[in-house]
Amino acid sequence: MTKLDMRRRSVLAAAPALLVGTVAAPHVARAQGKPEKSKVVLAVGGKSALYYLSLTIAEKKGFFKDAGLDVEINDFQGGAKSLEALMGGSADVVAGAYEHTIRMQQRGQAIKGFALIGRGMQLAIGMRTDVADKVKGPADIKGMKFGVSAPGSQTHMLVANWAAKGGLKATDFSVIGVGAGASVVAAIENKSVDGISQADPALTILQEKGEVKIVVDTRTMKGNKELFGGAMPAACLYCQPGFLTKTPNTAQALATAIVRADEWLQTAKPSEVADTVPPAYLLGDKAIYEKAFANVRETISPDGIMPPEGPANCLKFLAEGDPKIAAVKDKIKLEDTWTNEFAQRAKKHA
Alpha-carbon torsion angle 139, 50, 148, 173, nearest 10? -10
Strand partners, 213: 127
Structurally, what CATH architecture does the domain formed by 39-121+232-292+299-348 represent?
3-Layer(aba) Sandwich (3.40)
Q: Return the pLDDT at 5.
A: 44
What per-residue confidence (pLDDT) applies to 336?
A: 98
pLDDT of 3: 41
Q: What is the pLDDT of residues 60-81, one digit of tens each?
A: 999 999 999 999 999 998 888 9
Spans of all domains in the chain: 39-121+232-292+299-348, 123-228
The span from the CA of 96 to the CA of 80, in Å, is 9
Is 39-121+232-292+299-348's fold the same as 123-228's? yes
* Cα-only R_g, the chain: 22
The CA distance from 128 to 266, in Å, is: 33
DSSP 3-state assignment of 301? coil
For the chain, the residue count is 350
Cα dihedral sign, 345-236-260-270: negative
The reported pLDDT for the residue numbered 32 is 62
Provide the H-helix boundaries in 68-108. Answer: 79-88, 99-106
pLDDT at 14: 37
Report helix, strand or coil for 350: coil
On whether the CB atoms of residues 117 and 54 are closer than 8 A, the answer is: yes
H or E, element range at 282: none
Is beta strand 123-128 parallel, antiparallel or unpaired with respect to 212-217? antiparallel
Q: In this predicted model, what pLDDT tens digit does every residue of 317-327 receive, in sequence order? A: 999 989 999 99
Contact 272, 51 (CB under 8 A): no
Q: Are 288 and 243 in contact (CB under 8 A)?
A: no
Residue among 77, 76, 83 nearest 177 (CA):
77
Domain boundaries 123-228, CATH class: alpha beta
Q: Which residues of the chain have pLDDT under 70?
A: 1-32, 349-350
